[in-house]
Amino acid sequence: MSITRLEHETVSPEARAEGSRRLRVLHAREQIDLPGAERAVRDLLLALGRDPSSPHLAETPRRVATSFEEMLTPREFDLTTFPNDEHYDELVLAKSIPVHSLCEHHMLPFTGVAHVGYLPGERILGLSKLARVVELFARDLQVQERLTVQIANWLQEHLDPKGVGVVIEAEHMCMSMRGVQALGSRTITSSVHGLLREDPRSRQEFFTLTGAH
């Protein structure tokens, strides 16, 4: 993986007063060589027996190159957390977060939903941030299993919850459009840590609510 993630805390005085904490998540990625990618797409069209100089395809290499740049570059965001003053100790679950990623075997999309849940420890998280964490790892050349594990590990490390669980259900275009042509078949993967792994009641609740079991 050619990604480094730079993270640093930015806390305003007001935010510090209310105990919120923001972690800016940036991405230093090896510079994508757009002209190089365009040339490669033109070569691919040629190799596929297409004429890249035809008016229909003239803009295609540029469009493909910029599409890949966008699909492989996560957006910067602030991970905002708050003290768990109410000592909320039940499951927090964000269901059906959209997932769009590219499989590293075929560079074809796989799309679906992620269900991300955690049992809060000392801190709780702005809910919209779970979708940004999913995107952080989805905008990459991926396999679904690794994507699932990376999201769970990252949340475990940065939020330090009592438990965290991630379920991803996705359809892979490399399965739907080619090969076995299993249209509509979904692959389900999961990764659980802490009490969601070890405590049978919490684990059961998580998988029942996600509908994965």
User: How many residues does this entry show for the chain?
Assistant: 213
Q: Is 178 in the site for Zn ion (CB under 5 A)?
A: no
Query: Residue from 106, 146, 162, 186 that binds Zn ion (CB under 5 A)?
Result: 106
Residues 6+ apart with CB under 8 A from 3: 27, 28, 29, 140
Contact region with Zn ion (CB under 5 A), list: 66-74, 83-91, 105-113, 187-195: 105-113
- Residue span binding Zn ion (CB under 5 A) among the ranges 63-71, 85-93, 96-104, 195-203: 96-104
Yes or no: say if 99 and 142 are a contact pair by the CB < 8 Å rule. Answer: no
Q: Which residues does the annotation mark as catalytic?
A: 103-106, 144, 172, 174
Q: How far is CA 72 from CA 27, 183, 212, in A?
A: 11, 25, 28
Q: Which residue is nearest to Zn ion (CB)?
A: 174
Give the nearest distance from C-beta 174 to Zn ion in angstroms. Answer: 3
* Sign of the torsion formed by the C-alpha atoms of 92, 143, 150 and 126: negative
The two three-digit tokens of residue 169, written as one number: 């259900």
142 vs 190 by CB, closer to Zn ion: 142
Q: Does 63 interact with Zn ion (rule: CB under 5 A)?
A: no
